[in-house]
Chains A and B, each alone.
Chain A
Amino acid sequence: MNSIIVSDALQYGGILIEGCLLVYMACSAQRRRLAGVGLYLFSMFAAGQVRAHIIRGYGLRSPEYTYVYWTTDFVLVIASFLLVCYLFRRAFEQQEKMWRFARLLLGLVFVLAIGVSSLSFLGNYSLLSPKYVVEFNQNLYFTCLVLNTMLYLTLQHLESTDEQLGLLVCGVGIQFAGPAATMALCHLTTGESFARTLVSFTVPVCTLGMLVVWAYAIVRVRESTIKVTGRIGEPALLEVTAD
């Protein structure tokens, strides 16, 4: 009982921060710059509201809630992938060649995630089965974690001075890594009750962690203005004007 209360409190805390961040971003001058973050926050907020509405109407154990849960989960996973694409775009906005390569890579990875999920279910299940959606969600979620880590390493390699982007990437890493680990544990222990309890805690804790890091990045860290001169392949001269 206590664990349910704690888990609910964490979720409500997350919703509160999501709402505050959305309002803050809508009122600030950074809203265009942070459009991808805003879209992801909005999809999380909307998914939470739809789920809550269905629980109130049909109950937690109803088939309606199950379908809505997995549908919203699918939307959230797609939003996660789009968020990673946005972060890549922002990281390479001064480097068109790199962005073209990244765009190709992201497209290929997405097709690969669909392919791998299809392969494991072709022959046994229908592609429209909810199990296919679950498999696809898990594969794409882990793919997003790997892509995010690749982006973090690239930013280190490029010695990026965009502090805000670095923190946004770290926040996404926390959000993806924690649930991925507990989901794998749940899979290994074939859904033991302790693993399921751990999942119910980890997901809201990691979301809260990401929101806290993002709030810090958006509110406290003003983006550095970077002017890059020079072409790709040549040593770039960075002129940084930090606040």
Chain B
Amino acid sequence: MIVALLILILSTALFFFYFQVTCQKILGRQFDREYFQSIANANRLEFPSLRKSLEDFGAPVDYSRLRMMLRCDFLALTYLLKNAANVNQRYTYDERLLILYFRWQFLSLALRRLLRLGENTAVLRLTAVLQYFANVVGQRVNAVKFGNLTAADYLLNL
């Protein structure tokens, strides 16, 4: 009984550990340049400023607004991932995994808030996922030429 309980606890912890590490490894992918800023500007996404405020001052904005900002940015970016310069019009497997990771971290944000554990770590992880998505969208848009349109112009016309 005790052995089974130990295996249960250890295996569950290891499962979440491996899931987290895998997503962090995918997020650690290097892009040839930083595309996310132009995508964020074109779509008025708020995660770069949120991340900067957290890194500089360590204090997030009001919690309900924070959730709303992250959720809106997530919806906008997942839409762009699927539709902007994507011939197949569907997510890749790693994108699906990261979407799952985002949702898990979003849940963890709520739990951390409830248990008063501090939300900064979860918020930084969430913004890292959003930054990765924005970089992927930027790279795709950049790879395709749309006449004289810039990446930002293309996205505004989408």
Give the B-binding residues of A (Cβ under 8 A): 142, 145, 149, 152, 163, 166-167, 170-171, 173-174, 177-178, 180-181, 183-185, 187-188, 206, 209, 212-213, 215-216, 220
Contact = CB atoms under 8 A, between A and B. Distances in A.
A242 to B, nearest CB: 8
- The 10 tightest CB contacts between A and B, nearest first, are A173-B18, A181-B11, A177-B15, A184-B8, A180-B11, A184-B7, A177-B14, A170-B22, A212-B93, A181-B12
Nearest to B20: A170
B27 to A, nearest CB: 12
Given A171-B22, A187-B4, A216 B15 contact: no
23 contacts: A142-B7, A145-B14, A152-B21, A163-B25, A166-B25, A170-B25, A173-B21, A177-B12, A177-B15, A177-B18, A180-B7, A181-B11, A184-B5, A184-B7, A184-B8, A188-B1, A206-B15, A212-B94, A213-B97, A215-B93, A216-B26, A216-B97, A220-B94
B145 interface: no
A163 B30 CA distance: 12
B96 interface: yes
A188 B18 contact: no
Contacts of B11: 142, 145, 177-178, 180-181, 184
B79 interface: no
Interface centre among B14, B17, B25, by most chain A C-beta atoms within 10 angstroms, is B14
A216 B94 contact: yes
B146 interface: no
B140 to A, nearest CB: 14
* B interface SS class: helix
B96 A212 contact: yes
Nearest to A188: B4
Contacts of A212: 93-94, 96-97
A213 B97 CA distance: 9
A174 B15 CA distance: 5
Contacts of A184: 4-5, 7-8, 11
Interface string B84-128: 000000000110110000000000000000000000000000000
B8 A188 contact: yes
A187 B22 CA distance: 29
A188 B21 CA distance: 28
Interface in B20-34: 21-22, 25-26
A167 B18 contact: no
B63 interface: no
A49 B96 CA distance: 27
Nearest to A242: B30
Contacts of B97: 209, 212-213, 216
A134 B18 CA distance: 26
A178 B17 CA distance: 11
A163 B1 CA distance: 39
